[in-house]
Chains A and B, each alone.
Chain A
């Protein structure tokens, strides 16, 4: 009788298809995967511990570097959580601008996902197109915050500076040009027989399993569960916008691909509503002692200068209590759990990482399938290692 033995294959930290430093240990029997064990921690930075030793304001740039494909949405989540803790009400213009930037961030993240996912499966052209079109969004980021990726533009109580003068023109140009580009990507991939063969019925997860594995975001919506935090628990003025939530049927990789393409279209729709209805007003809340005063006041008024000095050097004292604010980032539900203890430094800032929880279900997606489907599964979960390891 032939005895079948398994071999252990290491898909190491340095691999072209693992989107960063993820290590996966596979036990194979021929080409079938028997056991999958993802090993993370190769990018562990100790961000949560570093943020505990800083004032609330100074922790904002650390949040940029976690999910580095959607930096503005991390900023948004953190600032919303601190504003909830300190009970700060932001002006309307800030809410609208934050929604517009958050949706452009979602577009940014999905473009990189599309490019790298298609690259893993063998399609070498979409990545060139998506990165070229991403430059338009990075141009807007640079105009707002001065930096292409880690802008730290969304601050506690408002924005870092006022929106640039050509923000309106740039965003409208993007909204005019982008629908054609999304159609271009779909022409390349949606009806492509090879792409369909590689993603149909691959990495399937059912709705009950998805809820049991605590999945959120497109992983959960691909299995048919209609849950989106922008509609369920709206934040930053999302209740005023009109958009739809796409859901999938089978929970396989092809459904998640179609879902994310539709999410890109809905993001353009929300950004159009945001830019059409952008109100006038101040770009920062007026809460003396907590929110930094605008720079024009600091240079001319005495009280503003004193407050600026005190907030930068000492910070503000947070009440003793804990808040949790979750937002819908492109990867899933990112939540910030901030515990204040009465002093000017936080006692604990916990980031609920969507990619960490999503990649934990890799055994359920891959076991029983083929080796090449592991690559497709990792790509369709859409992880960012900076967020998994923090």
Chain B
């Protein structure tokens, strides 16, 4: 694919020292970069009109607790970028440490990143520095903790059948 080749040249050429690895699982191009470089790469991509990578489709976060992948960093942040002219998609992935997951916010570049980052903060506790309004968006205000983390329990309640209908509902963590 010529688009993939162009993206590889762009990122490896200008930000080569920040790229940790490159991946092509199931024909999907993704780059694992250092957290500090994400903002600069996105800014450079927005200024380049030939590549036309202007659509930030998604910001996803994964929690690798209790898995051997955790050695590279507990939280993985995935930026899903799409080019409308070349109809190609690629991913920028970074790893953040478990005790201090902070990264620079992309809201100055894309307006659409505002709510996506708020959701990442609410559900997994990743702090985006420079975000105008980093507050809870989906969960209740009195819920402490971040639901999508692996150590947050699902809080499954034992259903009431006829044999335990007089017991109070037991919450299984």
Q: Which of A49, A212, A214 has the most CB of B within 10 A?
A: A214
Residue pair B84, A227 in contact (C-beta under 8 Å):
yes
Given contacts A320-B69, A347-B62, A350-B60, 9 further A-B contacts (CB under 8 A): A85-B26, A214-B111, A323-B28, A326-B57, A347-B64, A348-B63, A352-B58, A364-B111, A390-B138
Q: Given B26, B111, B123, B136, which contacts A212 in the complex, CB threshold below 8 Å?
A: B111
**Complex interface: chain B residues within 8 A of A225 (CB):** 84
A-B contact pairs, 11 of them (CB 8 A): A44-B139, A84-B26, A211-B54, A213-B112, A214-B116, A227-B84, A321-B26, A323-B25, A323-B28, A357-B112, A364-B111
In the complex, chain B residues 38-94 whose Cβ is within 8 Å of any chain A Cβ: 54-58, 60, 62-64, 67, 69, 78, 80, 84, 87, 89, 91
Q: Given B28, B58, B114, B138, which contacts A44 in the complex, CB threshold below 8 Å?
A: B138
**Complex interface: chain A residues within 8 A of B62 (CB):** 322, 339, 347-348
B138 to chain A, nearest CB (A): 4
**Complex interface: chain A residues within 8 A of B140 (CB):** 41
Do A41 and B58 contact each other (CB < 8 Å), given the known contacts A323-B26, A324-B28, A360-B114? Answer: no
Interface string of B116-135 (1 = CB under 8 A from A): 10010001000000000000
Q: A367 at the A/B interface (Cβ < 8 Å)? A: no
Residue pair B26, A357 in contact (C-beta under 8 Å):
no
Do A49 and B148 contact each other (CB < 8 Å), given the known contacts A214-B57, A324-B91, A339-B62? Answer: yes
In the complex, chain A residues 40-91 whose Cβ is within 8 Å of any chain B Cβ: 40-41, 44, 46, 48-50, 53, 84-85, 87
Determine the distance from Cα of A357 to Cα of B154 in the docked complex, in whole angstroms.
Answer: 26
**Complex interface: chain B residues within 8 A of A337 (CB):** 58, 60, 78, 80
**Complex interface: chain B residues within 8 A of A320 (CB):** 69
Q: A341 at the A/B interface (Cβ < 8 Å)? A: yes
Q: Given B25, B78, B80, which contacts A321 in the complex, CB threshold below 8 Å?
A: B25
Q: B147 at the A/B interface (Cβ < 8 Å)? A: yes
Residue pair A335, B111 in contact (C-beta under 8 Å):
no
Q: B110 at the A/B interface (Cβ < 8 Å)? A: yes
Q: Give the 7 A-B CB pairs with smallest separation, nearest first.
A: A214-B112, A360-B115, A232-B87, A41-B138, A321-B25, A352-B58, A44-B138
Interface string of B134-171 (1 = CB under 8 A from A): 00111110000001100010100000000000000000
Q: A252 at the A/B interface (Cβ < 8 Å)? A: no
A287 to chain B, nearest CB (A): 16
**Complex interface: chain A residues within 8 A of B136 (CB):** 41
Total interface residues in chain A, CB < 8 Å: 44
**Complex interface: chain B residues within 8 A of A27 (CB):** none
Determine the distance from Cα of A357 to Cα of B115 in the docked complex, in whole angstroms.
Answer: 7
A290 to chain B, nearest CB (A): 15
Residue pair A341, B67 in contact (C-beta under 8 Å):
yes
Q: A361 at the A/B interface (Cβ < 8 Å)? A: yes
Q: Given A53, A211, A347, which contacts B55 in the complex, CB threshold below 8 Å?
A: A211
Determine the distance from Cα of A232 to Cα of B147 in the docked complex, in whole angstroms.
Answer: 35
Determine the distance from Cα of A227 to Cα of B87 in the docked complex, in whole angstroms.
Answer: 9
A243 to chain B, nearest CB (A): 17
Determine the distance from Cα of A225 to Cα of B98 in the docked complex, in whole angstroms.
Answer: 40
Determine the distance from Cα of A40 to Cα of B30 in the docked complex, in whole angstroms.
Answer: 32
B101 to chain A, nearest CB (A): 15
In the complex, chain A residues 336-390 whose Cβ is within 8 Å of any chain B Cβ: 337, 339, 341, 347-348, 350, 352, 356-357, 360-361, 364, 389-390
* Shortest Cβ distance from A389 into B: residue: B138
Q: A92 at the A/B interface (Cβ < 8 Å)? A: no
Determine the distance from Cα of A232 to Cα of B138 in the docked complex, in whole angstroms.
Answer: 32
Q: A14 at the A/B interface (Cβ < 8 Å)? A: no
Q: A333 at the A/B interface (Cβ < 8 Å)? A: yes
**Complex interface: chain B residues within 8 A of A41 (CB):** 136-140
Residue pair B84, A49 in contact (C-beta under 8 Å):
no
Q: A104 at the A/B interface (Cβ < 8 Å)? A: no
**Complex interface: chain B residues within 8 A of A361 (CB):** 111-112
**Complex interface: chain A residues within 8 A of B116 (CB):** 214, 357
In the complex, chain B residues 4-62 whose Cβ is within 8 Å of any chain A Cβ: 25-26, 28, 54-58, 60, 62
A211 to chain B, nearest CB (A): 5
Q: A233 at the A/B interface (Cβ < 8 Å)? A: yes
